[in-house]
Structure 1
């Protein structure tokens, strides 16, 4: 079964998505997600100008060889643009193989390790009280794990809390340039421990609580935060510090038993190799779209498994429903799956473009037996939502110093 054509679509039904459609000479096609937030056109161009010409005529069943060809066969390895492009091709080929076999992708990976995929939802509020009210709403909907993010008093904007803004497009106004946000570690510390103390007092210990620091702290500050949060038994503390220097997590680990999670910006297994093999983290959060697709994530999951590290794939709204579907197949298979981030299946606009076969019940996703990834893409509907240039914010300290986003 030869690859006959590969199409790339960039659309914006609320967020920009880059979708790849690989079509074979038997007219079986597969879908992949190549979205890279704020750099979407770079990936689309890389696909169209560099990868696609090399793939026409190749056997679509040769997933492993094609992955190695695109990764090992080039001089400039890794990198967010390169790996997002590889990921999209890889997902699409798995989708094709599942459809050709008339089996869901998870069966090709080895079958189910569980009956459903556990999720954690987001409770974001302007105040602690508002955050906890939203937490209660999610508990009432059946969620058993919830990430708490609260606005920091004294800062104009706080990560994860957009106030009256619906998304980052609105933050940019009529000038599509990066918005800027203030950060103060001291003001953050004044709020965050109180948030979790009140959450445990209100909801008890039967709900999993999580928190995303978003890499705003230095390692010793993260160690202090982890220690302060120990009484509140977090499922994990996410992105406590930047780990470009993976030794940074040795500092955090030696001071706290709060579980640690990281990985949403990682592109290959090499970015997290030392963190995993030295058991400096408890959850690895790489996303299929950003780390080379299903083939690559399967390897990372297996490597993590032998070091007692669980998977918790990134699930931000800037990953398309195609990526979410790929994660579901990996999650239902992976014996060391931990939990999946969930921000909903999208809005009414994206629902017109992407149709899936997943069902949500009591904070878990159930997969169908639909062949392949179980997701479809409406090309005509996508044309109604043209690309809009967008950026994530830039973070600065109160004195103006550019800080970690």
Structure 2
């Protein structure tokens, strides 16, 4: 990439090999191609339109090497800013420009971020079952694949379907990681509207401590156990659950309560020492600020693509490092392997990066998104190919058209909507 190279084309690729992905392709005059992930689960077409109609025209003719200036231009230069659609769009551009920078210099992105501070990145995957015995079988299957950290979820007695709980046990795996449809959570439901699940907080609070205590007794002290509440509790209920789980020695308890009002976490923190992880739905450092600077959480979960890309996730990491808060970025199978690659490059080069979520992908997803990153024995590595180490098979991607798909809605027993 020379000093005179410019962006000549910006394209949006929408594909659905098992689930929907939105990918940004930026091409320069010298023929370099950068890839960015723009997937926002259940709102994919909103981001695709934002990119095509409002961002792509602004990028053509710009210098692809000016990554920070482009980030400032798209974020600070716009009157309407922040929010998941905007920040996912900005994040996709940022990832693609870092990919181009790496390819132009012949370096993997982590080298451009200061080089490796660790040899590999600890990862966790999901295990679930309709009941506790099936959950324990699922955990054993993930341990057999080499995982050293597992998120444990189970059905709740008296309830039907529960989000994050697979109806089937773990499958044989894809060879590149866990088979996401069998390892804990399948794709969002296809259809014109979300499915509805019935939720009962009291039943969950009776069940969760017993379920997680059984999991700890089964696996012993070494395996790192995690659990996700999916924002379903009030601050008082969250504090009660945290206190009940202290003896289980969780690696973290995730999303115990909606955190738009960050001050409510003060109540939770006062009543429990269980490590808390929050932030996968956050889009900027501002949503994380109070939680980090008051040390109300132990792990921040912001996703590299939904939080404005590598450039902005590094700002969040820098603030968190000062307050001894660590990163554990969101990484389900509804972010594409492009975002996974970017998160791993950040992880390898960021001192306070703790763990990366990794559910795995269907085999065809690995074919559409060919990647240098790899999984082995409980750890991930981004690889050493230039840029992000990603290439997209556009011809294969075109064989999988978009289909509407949504995550389920939760309603309480009385029919009122529960927090997601």
2:238 maps to which of 194, 199, 222: 222
Distance in 1 separating the partners of 2:95 and 2:383: 18
Alpha-carbon spacing, 1:65–1:171, altered in 2? closer, same or farther (3 Å)? closer
1:110 maps to which of 94, 109, 114: 114
How far did 1:316 drift?
1.1
Cα deviations by residue, 1:19-45 (Å, 9 ceiling, x for unpaired): 001000010110000001111111111
Distance in 1 separating the partners of 2:9 and 2:114: 29
Match of 1:152 in 2: 156
Match of 2:253 in 1: 237
1:4-403 equivalence runs, <5 A: 4-163=8-167, 171-172=189-190, 175-344=191-360, 346-403=361-418
How far did 1:223 drift?
0.4
- Is 1:168–1:391's contact at 8 Å kept on the other side of the alignment? no
Q: When the two structures are superposed, what TM-score results if normalisation uses the length of structure 1?
A: 0.97
> Is residue 2 from structure 1 mapped to residue 6 from structure 2 by the alignment?
yes
Unpaired runs of 5+ residues, structure 2, are 169-180
Distance in 2 separating the partners of 1:169 and 1:18: 15
- Is 1:215–1:241's contact at 8 Å kept on the other side of the alignment? yes
Q: When the two structures are superposed, what TM-score results if normalisation uses the length of structure 2?
A: 0.94
How far did 1:326 drift?
0.3
Distance in 2 separating the partners of 1:203 and 1:170: 30
Match of 2:173 in 1: none
Alpha-carbon spacing, 1:171–1:97, altered in 2? closer, same or farther (3 Å)? closer
Distance in 2 separating the partners of 1:102 and 1:27: 14
Task: Report the 3-state secondary structure (helix = DSSP H, G, I; strand = E; otherwise coil) of the residue aligned with 2:370.
Answer: strand
Deviates more, 1:7-16 or 1:356-365: 356-365
How far did 1:246 drift?
0.2
- Is 2:189–2:406's contact at 8 Å kept on the other side of the alignment? no
How far did 1:170 drift?
7.5
Unpaired runs of 5+ residues, structure 1, are none
Structural RMSD (CA): 1.2
Cα deviations by residue, 1:167-221 (Å, 9 ceiling, x for unpaired): 766745xx42111111111110121111121112111101110000000000110
Task: Report the 3-state secondary structure (helix = DSSP H, G, I; strand = E; otherwise coil) of the residue aligned with 1:403.
Answer: coil
Distance in 2 separating the partners of 1:341 and 1:366: 13
Cα deviations by residue, 1:265-300 (Å, 9 ceiling, x for unpaired): 011111111000100000000001111000000110
How far did 1:163 drift?
1.7
Task: Report the 3-state secondary structure (helix = DSSP H, G, I; strand = E; otherwise coil) of the residue aligned with 1:211.
Answer: strand
Distance in 1 separating the partners of 2:380 and 2:367: 20
How far did 1:359 drift?
2.1
Distance in 2 separating the partners of 1:336 and 1:352: 32
